[in-house]
Structure 1
C-alpha cells in the first residue's frame, strides 16, 4: 500500500514505518530510526553537507527567488534528514554564529540572505510527503514544494490541502505564514488543517532540542502549534515538518482525513485592453470586483465555489487581466461563472479579449479566453507552471500587501488610477493584484490561530518584477509611492479599520518598520498580527528566549 511511502521531488522513501512510533510520542521527539533500505534501494542519503565560497555551487545557494538579495555567509549547510537539523543549529549556537533558514527560497525580503548572516541552513532537500499512520495524518517536510504536495495527496489519496498557486513555494514559510490559494474560499487556509508541527528550538541555556507541538488542547506545547498556524516564519525555531489532518476527522483511512478538491473546474482568463480604458472604466472595474466579493464571501455561501484574481497592470503592460476558477461540480457552476463575469464587466463597456501579454507573475493565457473545463489537478498544474516569476532566475522584485474589508473609497480608486497610468515611467512589470478571499477563511475566530486576518473579503498585492538592476530605483519608488497614496488617509499603510485590515506576513515589507513610509501610529507587527502579537511574544519568550532566530520583522521578545 502507498501508506508506507513518501514521495519527494527526487526520490522515494520508506519512512512512515520508522517514523510512526517516534512521531506518536509527542513532546520532545527522539531521533527517528533511519529507513532500513535507505542505501540499498538507492535512495538519496547524505550527511549534512557544508558548502563555502570555495565550492562552485556556493553562488546558487546564497540567494532566493528575489535576486535583489544575495548573501555572503561563511557556509551553507544542506541537510537530508530531519534528524540532522538539530546538530547544525547546535553548532551555530555554540560558535555564536548568526543563522537563518531557507526552505524554498521564496522569502521576498532579506530575512534569509543579508550581510549579517553567517550560516544558512538549507532545508530544500527535506522534501518527503507521506501518510503517517502513527498520527493518522499526512506528514510534509518543510522543503516539500507545493505542487509535489498536491500531486501526491490527490493522485494517491484523492485529497488536498488548500495552499498556494506557485509550484515551487515550499511548505516551510508558506504554512507558518498562513498560506492561501484558489481553494481558500471553499476550504479555508492550509493552517486550518495543521495538526502538528516539529520544531528545533534553542533554550535559554543554549541547548537545542526538537519539539512536536499539536493542536490537542491538552498538549503542553499547544501554544507553539498555535504560533506556527500563521505566526510567521523564522520566529521561534526551525520547522522540519508539518502534519495535516482535518480537525475532528477520525479513523485511519487517509482518504477521509483531508478535504477533497473539486473533481473538475472551469478556468478562464480575460483581458481589457488599456488603450480602451478610461479612469471611469478602470475605477468601475476595480469597484465591481470589490463589491462582488464583499457581497459573496460569507461562510457557506454558494459563491465560495468561485475564486478570481484581477491584475491591474501599469498601462505600459498593455492589458488588465483577470483569471477565474469555479468548481465545475457545484449546481449551476457555469451560470455562476457567466453571471460573475457579467457583474465584473458591468458599466465598463469594453469587450474583453484573450490574455496575450505577461501580467504580474504570469505569462500569456490566450488559450483560456473562453472557459475551459479541466480536471482540478491539471488546472492547478497549469497555473503553477505558467508563473514566469518562478522560471526566470534574473527577476528582481518588490512587494507590498493589504487586506480589504469593504469596497474602495473614491480616493483610493483615484490614487490607483493615477499611478497605473503614470507616463513619467515605463514599468510593464508593475502591477496590483486583487485576490478573492473570505468565505471559509473567515469561519475561525481571529484568535483561533496565530493568523488574525479572518474578517476580510479580498486582498491586494503590489508586485513589481524586473530584470535590470539599473531599474531598481524606479520600480521600488513606484511601489512605495502608489501604496503610500492609496493609504494616505491612514499614514501610508492599511491600518485595520472598517475598510482595511493590515498586511500579509508572507508578502513581507521591511518598509513597514520605517517611519519614513509608515507614518501611522500602528507598528508593523500590528499590521501583520493585530491583537495576536502579544500572545506570539509569549511563545517567543518560552521557545526562543535568547532571540536566536531573528530577522528584520521577527517576533520581538516581550
Structure 2
C-alpha cells in the first residue's frame, strides 16, 4: 500500500509496513495483519538502572508515578504485538502511553509492571490505499497540524496544547478551537488500527472502519469518544470527512480559514465584584446558548477564557473568529453592562501566551494563530507540577448559584491557584446525535475545566481539598456533580476525574460512567466484552466488561 508521507513524497510498501504493518490494500472488513518481517527495529526496554528511566516513570502530572519492571518503547505495529504477547505470557499488568498528558493515574500507577510507550510512533501522512490521512499515536498535535496543513492545506479540529499525543486525544473525542466550525476530531475518523487480545491471550491486529458492512464497526465506534486504555493498543488512525470519499486528498478533511481575527484581553480583579462577575459570566453563557446551533453564523467563533483566581490578578480571555464582525459583536455582548475596561495580556495565563498586541483584535494567518495559542504549557514547564482536574459540560447558561459559588472561591485570597477555564462548544459538534459516536454530549454549548497546579507532595491534601470543595459547592444543586440532562451534561473523559468513581467523594448517586458516557456506556461495555474479554486494558475509569 503506497503512501505519501508528511513531505508529500511517494514511498514504497516497505515503509508502510514499518508504520502500520499493512503491506497490501485489504478489504474494509478484514483485520489488518502485521508484515511477515519487521522493517523497523524494535524499541528498547528501559529498566530502572537506565538513566532514561526516571523521566519515563511519570507523565505530565507528577502526582502519579509508575515503577514498572521496564518501559517498552514501541516503534511499529509488529513491535506492539510482540510486546503485548510477552506481557501476557509473563502475566504482567500493562499500561499505555502516547503523549504522556493523562492527568489521572491511567498510565502511571504502582500496579503497572510494563509501561508501553508509543511516543516514538509519530508519522503523519496520506494513505493512497485507504484514501485517507493517517496519524500515528505518538504524534504531537502541533506536528499533526503542521504536516496536514503544509502538505495538503487541511487540518483536524483538535486541541490547543501543542504537546498532547494523538493517541489518547483522539479516542477521547478530541476538540479544539475549530470544533464549532468542523465538529470533534472523531467526527472525521475513518478507521483505527488496534492490537487486541482475546480471552485466551491470542493477540491480533484489527483495522476497524466506519463502513456499515465492517464486522469491526463497533470497535471503530468505541474509539469515537470511548476513551483511551480500554480496548487495545492503538497503532494508527485514519481520517476522512464523511461524504468526501471520491474527493482529492486536499478536499477530504476540513480546510481551515486562511486568516483569523484574534483578541486577547485581561479583565483585572481590581475591577471585579460579585455583581459584575455574575453579569460577565452570564453574558458569556447567554451568547453561547444563543449562537451554538450547527447552522449558526456564531459557530465561526471560539474562545478560551481563563477565569483565574484573584491571586493571579486578572481573568484572561482569548477569542478568535474568521469574521471580524462576529468577533466584535461577541466582545460587545461579553462586556455589556459589566463596566469592565479590558487591558492587554502582558504575561502568560495558563495555555495562553502573553499577547500584548491583541488588546485590539488583529488579523493573523491561521497557522500563526495555532502556534500562538497553546504555546506555553504551565505543567510541562514545571518538572515538579502536580495537577488536580475536574470538568463540566453546559447545555444552558450558568445558574446564579453556580456563579455565586465560583465567585466566592475564586475571589478568596487563600485560593491556592485554582482556575475555572471556559471553552466554547456546540456549533458543528451538535450536528450529531448522542449515539452517533461514543462522545455523547452533543447538545452542549460550552464546557468548563477546573484545575489547580502545585509543586510539592506536602500540598496535595490542601490543594485537592480546595478543588473538591469548589466543585462540590458549584454543583450543590445537583448533588455536587454536573448531572446530565439539565443545565449540565456530565464530564469530559479526556479531563479524567477519578473522584467521580470514589463513592466517599461522589455522594451524588450519579455513577461516574453516566457523567462521562451517558447512555453510551452499555454499548461500550459490549465492545469491551468482544475485544478485551479478559480486561487486560484497564485503569481507574476504564470501561468494565
Please give the TM-score of this superposition, normalised by the length of structure 1. Answer: 0.93
Distance 1:264 1:31, change over 3 A: same
Contact in 1 for aligned 2:94/2:114 (Cα 8 Å): yes
Runs of at least 5 residues in structure 2 that lack an aligned partner in the other structure: none
2:393 and 2:481 map into 1 onto residues whose CA distance is 11
Deviation digits for residues 235-264 of structure 1 (CA, Å, limit 9, x no counterpart):
111111100001121226211111101111
Q: How does 1:97-496 map to 2 (within 5 A)?
A: 97-251=92-246, 253-327=248-322, 333-423=323-413, 425-427=414-416, 429-496=417-484
Shift of 1:204: 1.1
Counterpart in 2 of 1:4? 4
Q: Does structure 1 residue 29 correspond to structure 2 residue 24?
A: no
Runs of 4+ aligned structure 1 residues displaced above 4 Å come to 16-21
Runs of at least 5 residues in structure 1 that lack an aligned partner in the other structure: 39-44, 328-332
Alpha-carbon RMSD: 1.9
Deviation digits for residues 280-309 of structure 1 (CA, Å, limit 9, x no counterpart):
011111111001000000001111110012
Shift of 1:24: 3.1
Contact in 2 for aligned 1:23/1:29 (Cα 8 Å): no
Q: Does structure 1 residue 87 correspond to structure 2 residue 82?
A: yes
Shift of 1:365: 2.4
Distance 1:535 1:204, change over 3 A: same
SS of residue paired to 1:309: strand
Deviation digits for residues 194-230 of structure 1 (CA, Å, limit 9, x no counterpart):
0000001110111111000000000000000000010
2:142 and 2:497 map into 1 onto residues whose CA distance is 26
Contact in 1 for aligned 2:351/2:374 (Cα 8 Å): no
2:279 and 2:457 map into 1 onto residues whose CA distance is 35
1:51 and 1:21 map into 2 onto residues whose CA distance is 30
Distance 1:25 1:161, change over 3 A: same
Q: How does 1:41-52 map to 2 (within 5 A)?
A: 45-52=40-47
Contact in 2 for aligned 1:6/1:15 (Cα 8 Å): no
1:13 and 1:468 map into 2 onto residues whose CA distance is 50
Counterpart in 2 of 1:70? 65
Distance 1:289 1:205, change over 3 A: same
Contact in 2 for aligned 1:22/1:30 (Cα 8 Å): no
SS of residue paired to 2:460: helix
Q: Which moved more, 1:543-552 or 1:462-471?
A: 462-471
1:283 and 1:546 map into 2 onto residues whose CA distance is 50
Contact in 2 for aligned 1:4/1:14 (Cα 8 Å): no
Shift of 1:361: 3.5
Shift of 1:370: 1.8
Deviation digits for residues 353-409 of structure 1 (CA, Å, limit 9, x no counterpart):
012244234343223222121111111011131333333322211100000011111
Distance 1:358 1:5, change over 3 A: closer
1:426 and 1:528 map into 2 onto residues whose CA distance is 28
1:512 and 1:530 map into 2 onto residues whose CA distance is 14
Distance 1:182 1:199, change over 3 A: same
Contact in 1 for aligned 2:300/2:321 (Cα 8 Å): yes
Q: Which moved more, 1:69-78 or 1:359-368?
A: 359-368
SS of residue paired to 1:385: coil
SS of residue paired to 1:56: coil
Contact in 1 for aligned 2:62/2:384 (Cα 8 Å): yes
